[in-house]
Amino acid sequence: MTIEQTLLGAVNGCVEALYGPLEGLELQLQKTRKEFEGDYTLVVFPLLKRSRKSPDATATEIGEALAAGCPYVKGYNVIKGFLNIELRADFWLSQFGAMAEADNYGVAPANGKTVMVEYSSPNTNKPLHLGHIRNNLLGYSVSQILSACGYNVIKANLVNDRGIHICKSMLAWLLYGEGETPESSGMKGDHLVGKYYVEFDKHYKEQVKELVAGGMDEEEAKKEAPIMKEARTMLQKWEAHDPEVYGLWEKMNGWVYEGFDATYKAMGVSFDKVYYESQTYLLGKDIVAEGLDKGVFYRREDGSVWIDLTGDGLDEKLLLRGDGTSVYMTQDLGTALSRHNDNSLDGMIYVVGNEQNYHFQVLKLVLKKLGYEWSDSIFHLSYGMVELPEGKMKSREGTVVDADDLIDDMVATAREMSAELGKLDGLSAEEQDEICHMVGLGALKYFILKVDPKKTMLFNPRESIDFNGNTGPFIQYTYARIRSVLRKAAEAGVVESRGEGVELLPEEIELVKYLADFPQTVLQAGATYSPSVIGAYVYDLAKMYNSYYHDHSILREEREQVRGFRVALSRLVSEVIGRGMALMGIAVPERM
């Protein structure tokens, strides 16, 4: 039970004693604003019909009842009908003891509900890039947070392993690759395939330019370019399971999967289930046939299949091309149904960029029109794009920031800056490597996840690796500092205490209060699918502890009980920081 729930129970009891049964009326407590004295505030206006008194008189009457009958209420004040309640220091001490002794503090009990979180969803025609990094980090963190909120979470990856874009890389490799392989080139497989995606675009543009110079309209030239027509033919052969095309597809996808796995490992993300569009798009075609039979879809003269959503304020949506090949919507319908059949899901969360907002609006509506009521449980976690100081990235033109390169650069920058500040002094080479990787990845993850998912963000790698300010390294260093204090306390034989008989300092009460907010913060982050809520909390906690550490001695404190309490308080702060960072997928170092 949270502090708010405990206090609200007492408030409800006083109100019923004063004014009779609540009869469904739900009173609400909120944190007292910083400019007023108190811990929690009760808005009394909903009670005026029952009390038949002024707001101030009603608040005063409830406050007096609480102060007289509730042992942990220290006092109260009334400001314009708002009852501000102040709790006793020994109440906060009891809360501290409960928090310190709790197993896995901040993790809610299982709620019996299962949700699937889909993230990553890469195309097998290019390596993962900076945009994928935000997607992966957001999806993994949201999964961790929902798990801490009590959900059974299935982390899923849908690999876009088929379609015209895949054929572009395959065709370019056939035409210009001369048998190049990851082994012969020394390149990761995903980078090698991505090289030929760029190569395709280069030749395609040249052909379009030549056709336009010969008098053809540009839009027509884009359709008639020989290399594009070859790619479309290859896609048709793939869907017909042509042995040669299918074999090439399996070989090149195999190269990519090995590359992706290495990047996922370096990034520190994982999946419970992997779905492949090549295995679900046919189920999507079955759904399209079902929709035709039900009269939900219609077929045009060219053989293509559509749904008319103009009556719902949208437009007409293509579901199957005239040549029988699938579009993204076809396979997403199939994948959604496959997941529903395979798992008993209470929710399905798609972590996909905001450029696909309309797509998921249509997906839910189409499934609803087909009679699948579970479509209401689909949620599109839409996030903004990541931009660089130089502008937007373009995969076809090869102007992306590869995830592998960025991770390597972050680790190298972390090593350079850590060495300059003396953070690596006295550590073995192995420890230095581990910490530099931890700090580099922590800086990257925190910088990206501290931003509200809905917002487009500008990523500045060097700015993210700073041991001061709102950064991952600052929080990691705070954690390492506390762990150092705890090691020294253990060496000195300090016995931790729960603060019995200790008169708490105002700063200690504030720290305990803030620690008490952690479970509710996790629930809030889960309800909003926003790791930035956790990031803001952990950063503020680290700042509060650093101020406390700077102003008050811990190990040199002469009073034994006070020293023991301060060490115990430091331990709980470190544990909450560690758990909060883990919810963001960020590791914290024991030494630094």
In a domain, 398, yes or no: no
Query: Which one of 365, 387, 409 terminates a domain?
Result: 387
Reported as a single tens digit per residue, the pLDDT across 298-355 is 999 999 999 999 999 999 999 999 988 778 898 899 889 988 888 889 999 999 999 9
In a domain, 411, yes or no: no
Residues 6+ apart with CB under 8 A from 186: none
Question: In this structure, how many other beta carbons lie within 10 angstroms of the beta carbon of residue 548?
Answer: 19
In a domain, 238, yes or no: yes
Do 124 and 67 share a domain, yes or no?
no
- pLDDT for 464 equals 83
Question: In this structure, how many other beta carbons lie within 10 angstroms of the beta carbon of residue 443?
Answer: 28
- Strand order from edge to edge, sheet including 305-308: 298-299, 305-308, 316-320
Reported as a single tens digit per residue, the pLDDT across 25-80 is 999 899 999 899 999 999 999 999 999 999 999 999 999 999 999 999 999 999 98
Residues 6+ apart with CB under 8 A from 266: 404, 407
Do 74 and 123 share a domain, yes or no?
no
Scored b (16 or more CB within 10 A) or e, 387-398 reads: eeeeeebebbeb
Helix (H, G, I), strand (E, B) or coil at 191: helix
Contact 522, 142 (CB under 8 A): no
Do 184 and 330 share a domain, yes or no?
yes
In CATH, what number is assigned to the domain containing residue 301?
3.40.50.620
Contact 388, 401 (CB under 8 A): yes
Domain hosting residue 204, numbered range: 119-387
Q: What does the alpha-carbon distance between residue 545 and residue 535 come to, in Å, rounded to a whole number? A: 15
Do 150 and 227 share a domain, yes or no?
yes
In a domain, 396, yes or no: no
In CATH, what number is assigned to the domain containing residue 38?
3.30.1360.70
| Geometric angle at alpha carbon 80, from 75 and 82, rounded to 5° | 50
Do 63 and 144 share a domain, yes or no?
no
In a domain, 397, yes or no: no
In CATH, what number is assigned to the domain containing residue 537?
1.10.730.10
- pLDDT for 390 equals 63
Residue 242's pLDDT band (boundaries 50, 70, 90)?
very high
Contact 502, 561 (CB under 8 A): yes
- pLDDT for 6 equals 85
Question: In this structure, how many other beta carbons lie within 10 angstroms of the beta carbon of residue 382?
Answer: 17
Relative to beta strand 378-383, strand 347-353 is parallel
In this structure, the dihedral spanned by the alpha carbons of residues 357, 358, 363 and 364, taken in order and rounded to 10 degrees, is 70
- pLDDT for 2 equals 73
Do 135 and 74 share a domain, yes or no?
no
Reported as a single tens digit per residue, the pLDDT across 460-512 is 777 888 888 899 999 999 999 999 999 999 999 999 999 888 999 999 999 99
Reported as type and span, the H/E element at residue 30 is strand 29-31
3-state secondary structure labels for all residues of 75-100 = EEEEECCEEEEEECHHHHHHHHHHHH
The DSSP annotation for 211-277 comes to: HHHTT--HHHHHHH-HHHHHHHHHHHHHHTT-HHHHHHHHHHHHHHHHHHHHHHHHHT---SEEEEH
Reported as a single tens digit per residue, the pLDDT across 125-183 is 999 988 899 999 999 999 999 999 999 999 999 999 988 999 999 999 999 999 999 99
In a domain, 95, yes or no: no
The DSSP annotation for 500-531 comes to: TT----HHHHHHHHHHHTHHHHHHHHHHHT-H
Do 374 and 443 share a domain, yes or no?
no
Do 208 and 299 share a domain, yes or no?
yes
Do 162 and 289 share a domain, yes or no?
yes
Query: Which one of 339, 371, 387 terminates a domain?
Result: 387
Q: What is the mean pLDDT of residues 390-412?
A: 71
- Residue 115 clears pLDDT 60, i.e. is over it: yes
Residues 6+ apart with CB under 8 A from 542: 474, 475, 478, 479, 577
Do 383 and 426 share a domain, yes or no?
no
Do 29 and 133 share a domain, yes or no?
no
Q: What does the alpha-carbon distance between residue 417 and residue 435 come to, in Å, rounded to a whole number? A: 12
- Residue 393 clears pLDDT 70, i.e. is over it: no
In a domain, 10, yes or no: yes
Query: Which one of 332, 361, 387 terminates a domain?
Result: 387
Number of domains in the chain: 3
In a domain, 112, yes or no: no
Task: Name residue 26's amino acid.
Answer: E
- pLDDT for 395 equals 43
Residue 399's pLDDT band (boundaries 50, 70, 90)?
low
Do 45 and 189 share a domain, yes or no?
no
Q: Where are the beta strands (DSSP E) in 354-510?
A: 378-383, 386-387, 457-458
